[in-house]
Structure 1
Amino acid sequence: MLEKLIPTSTSPATGPLSINDSQVKGLLAQSQSTPGNFHASPAAWEDQQLYFLLPDRFSNNEEDGYLDSNGQPVSGSIKMFNASSDSANAISSPQDAQTWRDAGGGFVGGTLQGVKSKLGYLKRLGVTALWVGPVFKQVPNDPSLYHGYAVQDFLQIDPRFGTREDLRDLVKDAHKQGIYVILDIILNHSGDVFAYKGGDKNWAYPGIKYDVEGFRDSHGNPTLPFQTMDLQKPPDNFTDCAVWPIELQAPGSFTCEGSILNWDNDPEYILGDFLSLKDINLGPSNPDNFSPTPALQALCLSYKYWIAYADLDGFRVDTVKHMGNGPTRYLATTIHEFAGAIGKDNFLLVGEVTGNAAWETVEITGIDAALGIGNVQQELWNLPKGYANPNGYFDLFRNALYLNVDAHSWTRNKIVTMLDDHDQVWRGGSDKARFCSGQQGDKLVLAALALNLTTLGIPCIYYGTEQSLDGSGGSDHYIREALFGGQFGPFRSANRHCFNEQNPVYQEVGKICALRQKHLTLRHGRQYLREISGDGQSFGVPVIIGDRMLSIVAWSRIFADEEILCAINTNPDGPSSAWVTLDNTLHDEGSTLAYVYPTENTTVAQSVTVVALNGKAVFLTVPAGGFVVFK
């Protein structure tokens, strides 16, 4: 009956309104009949280096002096940031400071075309897979939705980011540069597309559903019936009203149980609204004998359409914890099967899974990897600064705490690891800032990124960390600076961009990424935290003594009888030296390890000699806040 209300095709300007639109159904059918037309998946995602960006905060394609994909300078209106003259240029007066802060709460102008223009910058950094934040059409009339997680239309691109053709062109050009593209998607909720009668509601207890005033019109007012729209008599600006595709307007598409108050109370965190974002009824959490709701089916078909349309290589799935295992398993199954049918046999699904249930969620649902397992980000942040014992980070990858399995390889491709990100859930409250914001993070960021890139997992760099952005300010929008400048630029600046390929951190990260690509052991090898010694007699894993650990932290990656030894120095102000243990069976006394990664201006010797200490060991010196690799 619903199909009779849907136009059989829609104009290019409007795009499809329904999963039953001929544009959607035709593309899905055609894609499965011609699978060879799509970009193939990588053999292993742990071989990739990811880079995450929010489209509104990355580039607007107006920067001056950056290098294009061929390494040639480009002219533009926004000059490159100069630390000596441009820091804090936007906050010279209280009024200016308020203007800068206010700008950070809304859209600042980044676009998909801007992202495409920086593919050369990303490739030279060593990025092989680009994770793009949500680009779908947001609820109108709310500038605070620049992040993209409040979707009003799952079949359209938000015009502030560009067009569907811009997304397709970005992916096409990225593939030419050897870069895969992963898109952020949302199933748990829509934007604030309807209002409850009597105002906002909070979760009470299971089964309590609240009456709805109506879907919101194009002005944001709940004046429309809470039912499927009659497109023969549509309201004004109907594509800006309610929610799309039209299947999501059907009764029962939303749980209507009010906002979550207790974020760990089951089933409250499954069925409740995510603040003002309205919870979509995806079906029961239990994956056994699961039957998808029409709303879940509509969303899965929508995302299949985007795979086929834009030739995407993976999805990062938002708020998986709040979806439940049943809907997540259905998503994983249907997306993997469709992707496999069109030739993408290793299509990546990364779930945002917070808390200790992450390991279990990955195993039960069939998603490929999780983001945020077991406080990895917190440990990755604190260890290089000397405020966490190394065992806290390295034991997370052994997985014994969660599955009682003393294994090393399980986490090689099951977790995406990041130093900075756009939410920093682990910090809680409003205390948000980037790694470089304090505790000498600017001196230790290379060590932190090196730890991220050369330990187990699928490493990901958050946009701007390679330029040492600090994100200072306190709330989450300060950790979402506009790398291209605009009115909310980095380091409290405006109209200055930071696409500086001469930045030492950018250059060293590029070298480390290249080293990682060269050596299979750094991507697939087992991982061992190494004991160290200052005197060659007493060996042990480094620990905090006093307030802070200023020490070498060393680890080995071993694969097919090859050992690569890596070490960072958590002392930001001076070099550290120590004897470092090696695998006793892989080295002969008197043999040497070659120095394969030099930190800039280091005086480290080009090789070290293996001696018979604590089994086998070598003596290392690591520069202040530095990183070394021996093979």
Structure 2
Amino acid sequence: MDRVSDIDFAALCAGRKFQPSPLAWEDQVLYFLLLDRFSDDKEQGYRGNDGEPVTGGHTLPYDPAVDNGNAVATPDNAAVWRDAGGKWCHGNLRGLTGKIGYLKRMGVTAIWLSPIFKQVSFQPTYHGYGIQDFLSVDPHFGSVADLGKMVRTAHANGIYVILDIILNHSGNVFTYAVENGEPPWRGGTYPVVGFNNEQGAASLPFQDYEQNPMPVGKDDAVWPGEFQNPACFTQKGRIRSWDYDPEFREGDFFDLKDINHGYGPDAGYTPSPALLNLCEIYKYWIAAADIDGYRIDTVKHMDIGATRFFVSAIKEFAQTIGKENFLLVGEITGGRERAFDTLEETGLDAALGIDDVQLKLEGLMKGENNPEEYFNLFRNSLLVRKDSHVWFKDKVVTMINDHDQVCKGEHKARFCAAGDGSKLALGALALNAMTIGIPCIYYGTEQRFDGRGDWDGADRYIRETMFGGSFGAFRSKERHFFDESGDLFRELADILKLREEKLVLRRGRQYLREISGDGVNFDLPRIMGGRMLSVVAWSRILDKTEMVLAVNTDPDNAHKAWVLMDAGLHPAGSSLKCVYSTQHGDEGALVLTVQRKGAAGDIAAVELDVPAAGFVVLE
């Protein structure tokens, strides 16, 4: 389609039954993948969607004994591998469609997919955030038909699909009339040479589509045609100060061109034609592909009123086709207070937990943070100015790895990059899955990807390919990682299955529990001697059911600890059953609850034995 006005919603929706939304998004387990880095549909030796081995491809499974580092044996080889990570690697929608069974068997119930829209042709924007045509699928990924087939396959396997979308900016679709082409924001507009053609030359008039005397090819300028209008862009140059308002709202995100959304107060915002068209575009993708939710990029850089307007438009449209709980997640950098204020002001459903949440979850499992720093992120009533507890169970998407790691600055690497990360990965994933929030697994985490480049902390190293190619994980090439036999994949699948079976583990309240070595003196676990090697225990409570969970942050030694529980839920003489342990012989064992009078009333406690770097669950 060339224009937004070409969209025929009546034809798109006629006679169709759309996938209904889930009742509660905190019930789901998300899996975030960069499409270019996930699967090219050329692997063999993995299990297909039907569970049977696939033999048709040519890329063999990774063997750590011989394949680790096979792409960087010489400095020249290493340079080729590094260079490949900054280019298109050719993962596609067909490849993802064939790996839905892999995700289902892991326990994933929703895919969060990087942007699939057509990118500027003269830059390697494999990540999807440099859009040139908002109404087309990038040919690197496939077609609209391929997208529809992937979504139908996911839905048939009980998996929802969330698309990553961009409202704040387009790709690098025009060039400023200044010496280097990328002037800094100073508050005013800059002159523009013209729209860029498919080679990146600013050879096309910077004027309205209807008045342009020159033919504009589908790889030129920006599409749909309504965006070929200078008024669609702020034209104020790139952001330098990421926390100065209005610079971070008006400026360009690097060379990506900022879109003009409108003006006015938040409650009475006047949308621009560009924002109105973006609303129609993203309604189109819901209808065309039966999408279940959106993750909205760079929300911090948009007016609150613009985000609020978009949220209302999308929610209302989704309800008209039976998606009553269409998910809208915002990427909101700048700390929790900004994030939760933005949620309340805009109507977004949830924020990505890529600031405090990610760092403190990782720090807890590695013994570098006191556990209460992580657990308190979810119960700060005062943060949203409420007098009673507000539990952020469905307001935060939590994860330990992601694709850009804003929270880590220039030192980007995955959880398993150094130290004991590889040993502690299961505990970190268990914390992520079994504490409050909407858990999300970043692709490759289940295979212990380390994101190490050994040269610098560039984004490319935390964006390895699952399918091998020329930029595989662990500095490898031509080997894929769809291995369901590894211990981390199998244990994670067991943990996520338990989460699915137990409502309390998805929706229950959450309490970090005090522990004791002698059963008499209790306190919260804290860092001692520079690193916390300890049991960390918490409860999830729903109605009259309490389940007790614990990880061990010591990678080498088992630890025992008494753990306090809710005495009102555990009469004297009661017992709990171990329903999961990384030491599988312990499952099924009964553990007696000790109850006695304390200074503040009845006390109930249970003694846990947690394996090294392990995880246990009692009910």
TM-score (norm 1): 0.94
Please tell me whether residue 220 in structure 1 is matched to residue 200 in structure 2.
yes
User: Partners of 2:267 and 2:49 in 1: how far apart?
Assistant: 49
Alignment of 1:165-564 (within 5 A): 165-198=145-178, 199-206=180-187, 208-229=188-209, 234-235=214-215, 238-284=217-263, 286-356=265-335, 357-372=338-353, 375-400=356-381, 402-405=383-386, 410-429=391-410, 431-473=411-453, 474-564=457-547
The one-character-per-residue Cα deviations of 1:263-284 (angstroms, maximum 9, x if unpaired) are 0001100000001111000123
For structure 1, the 5+ residue unaligned runs are: 1-15
Q: Letter of the 1:19 partner, please give it.
A: V
Deviation at 1:204? 4.2
Cα distance change on mapping 1:285 and 1:540 into 2, 3 Å: farther
Please tell me whether residue 597 in structure 1 is matched to residue 576 in structure 2.
no
The one-character-per-residue Cα deviations of 1:237-277 (angstroms, maximum 9, x if unpaired) are x1111111111112310000110011000110000000111
Given that 1:408 and 1:526 are in contact with CA atoms closer than 8 Å, whether structure 2 keeps it comes out as no
- 1:61 equivalent in structure 2: 41
Aligned residues: 607
Given that 2:583 and 2:611 are in contact with CA atoms closer than 8 Å, whether structure 1 keeps it comes out as no
Alignment of 1:87-106 (within 5 A): 87-106=68-87
Given that 2:563 and 2:606 are in contact with CA atoms closer than 8 Å, whether structure 1 keeps it comes out as yes
Deviation at 1:602? 5.4
Residue 45 of structure 1, aligned match among 15, 25, 30: 25
Cα distance change on mapping 1:567 and 1:373 into 2, 3 Å: same
User: Partners of 2:266 and 2:10 in 1: how far apart?
Assistant: 28
- What's the C-alpha RMSD, in Å, of the aligned pairs? 1.6
Cα distance change on mapping 1:453 and 1:490 into 2, 3 Å: same
Residue 609 of structure 2, aligned match among 592, 596, 621: 621
- 1:121 equivalent in structure 2: 102
User: Partners of 2:347 and 2:119 in 1: how far apart?
Assistant: 29
Cα distance change on mapping 1:44 and 1:407 into 2, 3 Å: farther
Cα distance change on mapping 1:74 and 1:543 into 2, 3 Å: same
Q: Letter of the 2:488 partner, please give it.
A: V
Cα distance change on mapping 1:406 and 1:397 into 2, 3 Å: farther
Given that 1:138 and 1:153 are in contact with CA atoms closer than 8 Å, whether structure 2 keeps it comes out as yes
Deviation at 1:324? 1.9
Cα distance change on mapping 1:372 and 1:285 into 2, 3 Å: farther
Deviation at 1:219? 1.3
Identity %: 52
The one-character-per-residue Cα deviations of 1:470-511 (angstroms, maximum 9, x if unpaired) are 011221110000011000001010000010000111111111
Deviation at 1:38? 0.7
Cα distance change on mapping 1:255 and 1:552 into 2, 3 Å: same
Deviation at 1:406? 6.4
User: Partners of 2:488 and 2:567 in 1: how far apart?
Assistant: 34
Deviation at 1:205? 3.6
Deviation at 1:546? 1.6
Cα distance change on mapping 1:510 and 1:258 into 2, 3 Å: same
User: Partners of 1:228 and 1:313 in 2: how far apart?
Assistant: 34
Q: Letter of the 1:463 partner, please give it.
A: Y
The one-character-per-residue Cα deviations of 1:106-144 (angstroms, maximum 9, x if unpaired) are 11110010000000000000011011100100001212x
- 2:52 equivalent in structure 1: 72
User: Partners of 1:503 and 1:74 in 2: how far apart?
Assistant: 18
User: Partners of 2:387 and 2:547 in 1: how far apart?
Assistant: 21
User: Partners of 2:300 and 2:351 in 1: how far apart?
Assistant: 11
Deviation at 1:405? 3.5
Deviation at 1:606? 1.3
Cα distance change on mapping 1:162 and 1:580 into 2, 3 Å: same
User: Partners of 2:533 and 2:424 in 1: how far apart?
Assistant: 12
- 4+ residue segments displaced more than 4 Å: 31-34, 230-234, 406-409, 600-605
User: Partners of 2:208 and 2:491 in 1: how far apart?
Assistant: 55
Q: Letter of the 1:413 partner, please give it.
A: D
User: Partners of 1:476 and 1:602 in 2: how far apart?
Assistant: 41
2:150 aligned counterpart, secondary structure: helix
User: Partners of 1:398 and 1:333 in 2: how far apart?
Assistant: 27
User: Partners of 2:328 and 2:289 in 1: how far apart?
Assistant: 16
Deviation at 1:462? 0.3
Q: Letter of the 2:579 partner, please give it.
A: V
1:336 aligned counterpart, secondary structure: helix
User: Partners of 1:285 and 1:212 in 2: how far apart?
Assistant: 26
For structure 2, the 5+ residue unaligned runs are: none
User: Partners of 1:178 and 1:410 in 2: how far apart?
Assistant: 27
Q: Letter of the 1:496 partner, please give it.
A: R
Residue 139 of structure 2, aligned match among 141, 159, 162: 159
Q: Letter of the 1:434 partner, please give it.
A: R
User: Partners of 2:441 and 2:273 in 1: how far apart?
Assistant: 36
Deviation at 1:527? 0.3
Deviation at 1:234? 4.5
Deviation at 1:392? 0.5
- 1:11 equivalent in structure 2: none
User: Partners of 2:308 and 2:295 in 1: how far apart?
Assistant: 14
Deviation at 1:439? 2.4
Alignment of 1:563-578 (within 5 A): 563-578=546-561
Given that 1:531 and 1:539 are in contact with CA atoms closer than 8 Å, whether structure 2 keeps it comes out as yes
Given that 1:374 and 1:396 are in contact with CA atoms closer than 8 Å, whether structure 2 keeps it comes out as no
Q: Letter of the 2:88 partner, please give it.
A: F
Q: Letter of the 2:480 partner, please give it.
A: H
Deviation at 1:146? 0.7
TM-score (norm 2): 0.96
Given that 1:355 and 1:373 are in contact with CA atoms closer than 8 Å, whether structure 2 keeps it comes out as no
Given that 1:398 and 1:405 are in contact with CA atoms closer than 8 Å, whether structure 2 keeps it comes out as no
Deviation at 1:373? 6.3
Q: Letter of the 1:217 partner, please give it.
A: N
Cα distance change on mapping 1:285 and 1:129 into 2, 3 Å: farther
2:376 aligned counterpart, secondary structure: helix
Q: Letter of the 1:567 partner, please give it.
A: A
- 1:3 equivalent in structure 2: none
Given that 1:285 and 1:327 are in contact with CA atoms closer than 8 Å, whether structure 2 keeps it comes out as no
1:436 aligned counterpart, secondary structure: coil
Given that 2:82 and 2:471 are in contact with CA atoms closer than 8 Å, whether structure 1 keeps it comes out as yes
